Amino acid sequence: MTKFKELHPEYITDKKGRKKSVIIPIKEFKELLEDIDDLVAAAERKDEPTISHKKLLDELKKDGLI
């Protein structure tokens, strides 16, 4: 996940020097979008039932996936 300290923002200010907009490198913007997508997916799945790691491995082996 992208950390604020890792961003390199440039600010657009009004005549009084108040920050109005921000510009970030496209790579950092794309990383932020990926982070948002991940957070949305996690939020949408928060109420889904869970299974143990062992059970997951057993099911994957049974299905021939590992």
What is the pLDDT, as a whole number, of residue 5? 83
The one-character DSSP state at 16 is T
Contacts of 48 (CB under 8 A, 6+ apart): none
What is the pLDDT, as a whole number, of residue 20? 98
pTM comes to 0.64
What is the pLDDT, as a whole number, of residue 13? 98
What is the pLDDT, as a whole number, of residue 60? 97
Q: Which SS3 state, helix, strand or coil, does residue 5 take? A: helix
What is the pLDDT, as a whole number, of residue 18? 98
What is the pLDDT, as a whole number, of residue 7? 87
CA 24 to chain centre: 17
Ranges in the chain, pLDDT < 50 = none
Dihedral angle sign, alpha carbons of residues 59, 42, 4, 8: positive
Alpha-carbon distance of 40 to 34, in angstroms, equals 10
